[in-house]
């Protein structure tokens, strides 16, 4: 009986400790952990962190948009394209609302959704979004924007789709 009470007490104490930890979490620490996992190639762990970051971020905030965006990227790396699409479809309208259509964050979000579509075999939709992202980046950043887009693989994707002249 004493052993059972001790065991129950330990379980309750562990649950309370985890609740305290959860209450002490900050968006920036959880999001930072997600980025670290992503950068280290631990995409499943990144997904867990970014999912948690979406819960901690304030509604309609840049933090929430960033959380959804990075969640989509991590899911994309795991080839979970429908889940990646769902995350990017939440990030993109937030970036549009917060930054406007002529902004780098909206362009990158558009780029990311385009890449997901492309990997799903939805080449026409993907191509349209990738071109839109290139156009926005060119308007916002000039030549620097085109180089940034190439760094995010637009050139490779568009080249393979037969649009080499538009990316070089």
117-155 pLDDT, tens digit each:
999 999 999 999 998 998 888 888 776 655 565 555 554
Tokens of 79: 């080839």
pLDDT-derived band at 6 (thresholds 50, 70, 90) equals: very low
Range scoring the smallest mean pLDDT among 1-5, 130-134, 164-168: 164-168
d(C-alpha 70, C-alpha 6), whole Å:
42
Give 84's contacts (C-beta < 8 A, 6+ positions apart).
Answer: 72, 73, 75, 76, 116
Nearest to 74 by CA among 106, 108, 48: 48
**% residues pLDDT > 90 (the chain):** 62
First-to-last alpha carbon distance for the chain, in angstroms, is 76
Mean pLDDT over 80-88 rounds to 98
Predicted TM-score (pTM) above 0.95: no
Residue 160 has pLDDT above 70, yes or no: no
18-41 pLDDT, tens digit each:
332 355 789 999 999 999 999 999
pLDDT at 149: 56
Mean pLDDT over 71-82 rounds to 97
d(C-alpha 60, C-alpha 52), whole Å:
16
Mean pLDDT over 104-121 rounds to 94
The SS3 of residue 99 is helix
pLDDT-derived band at 165 (thresholds 50, 70, 90) equals: very low
The SS3 of residue 127 is helix
Mean pLDDT over 78-97 rounds to 98
Under 8 Å between Cβ of 147 and 139: no
């Amino acid at each position: 009986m004493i052993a059972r009470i001790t065991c129950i007490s330990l379980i309750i104490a562990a649950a309370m400790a985890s609740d305290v930890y959860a209450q002490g979490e900050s968006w920036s620490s959880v999001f930072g952990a997600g980025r670290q996992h992503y950068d280290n190639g631990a995409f499943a762990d990144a997904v867990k962190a970014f999912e948690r970051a979406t819960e901690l971020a304030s509604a309609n905030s840049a933090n929430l948009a960033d959380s959804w965006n990075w969640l989509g990227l991590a899911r994309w790396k795991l080839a979970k394209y429908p889940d990646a699409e769902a995350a990017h479809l939440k990030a993109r309208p937030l970036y549009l609302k917060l930054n406007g259509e002529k902004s780098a964050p909206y362009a990158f979000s558009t780029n990311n959704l385009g890449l997901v579509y492309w990997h799903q075999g939805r080449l026409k939709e993907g191509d349209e979004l990738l071109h839109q992202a290139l156009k926005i980046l060119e308007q916002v950043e000039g030549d620097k924007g085109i180089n940034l887009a190439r760094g995010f693989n637009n050139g490779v994707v568009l080249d393979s789709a037969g649009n080499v002249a538009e990316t070089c």
